[in-house]
Amino acid sequence: MKKVEINNYEELFEVLDRLNESIDWNTFYGERVMKAPFLVNNTLPDKLITEFVAAHSIRDAVEFGCGEGRNAIFLAKRGIDVVAIDSSDVAIRNAKDKAEGLDNVRFICSNFLTVDFEDRKYDLVIDSGMFHHLAPHRRLQYRELLKKILKEDGYFLLLCFSADEEGAEELDDLEFYTKRNTGVSFSEQRLRDFFDSDFEIISIEKRGQEMTEEYIDIPLLYGCVMKLK
């Protein structure tokens, strides 16, 4: 086995990634034991995204951590060109099956941080449920990537665990490592502190519990609408 050496920042980050290996997403999607709402209702988009698209003119979008593609497919069906990325090949295979016949959504199986966007810029980036699994040392790259691929005035929609819930403990960024958690929740202030440098924060609202034939709304989450400054 290759000896671990840290000669540059990426190698340092990779060591930290290995110390914080999180959920095995292929097992999650393959075995379907955990009945997460986004898995059980894997054809319904998030209400926040449906509302946003109804009110804005969006031509192209990127999704980080698209899972089985419920939001990406919704956007593509609305005529938006979509690049949707997930590191689980099981999820991407299922997403491609569901999207058969749609030619304006491209599913990529990859770590979103290593995708080559070829200097393209997009009207919208969405993330429903990935950011809260990301280790803190990767968040700065996440924010940099958002800035790089969003058009001027581009929008960013984020759904992530809210800390203002009983049982949803907010860990600080040191505890993420020492407690070896796979995910964290965020207070509204923490989200503002992190994104405020580059984004105008239009709204951060607690989501409710709702399911219709068109969408689901998942409680425990904050829905955030931001615009690149």
Answer yes or no whether residue 194 interacts with ligand SAM by CB under 6 A: no
**Using the rule CB under 6 A, which residue among 50, 82, 125, 133 binds ligand SAM?**
133
Beta pairing class for 81-86 and 216-217: unpaired
Smallest gap from residue 72 Cβ to ligand SAM (A)? 9
Closer to ligand SAM by CB, 25 or 194: give it.
Answer: 25
Smallest gap from residue 206 Cβ to ligand SAM (A)? 17
Closer to ligand SAM by CB, 111 or 209: give it.
Answer: 111
DSSP 8-state code for residue 78: T
Smallest gap from residue 65 Cβ to ligand SAM (A)? 3
Distances from the Cα of 78 to the Cα of 7, 157, 178, 191, 220, angstroms? 46, 17, 44, 29, 27
Answer yes or no whether residue 50 interacts with ligand SAM by CB under 6 A: no
Which residues, at least 6 apart from 163, have a Cβ–Cβ distance to it below 8 Å?
169, 170, 185, 186, 187, 190
**What six digits make up the tokens of 146?**
């958002």
> Interface residues for ligand SAM in 9-48 (CB under 6 A)?
25, 38
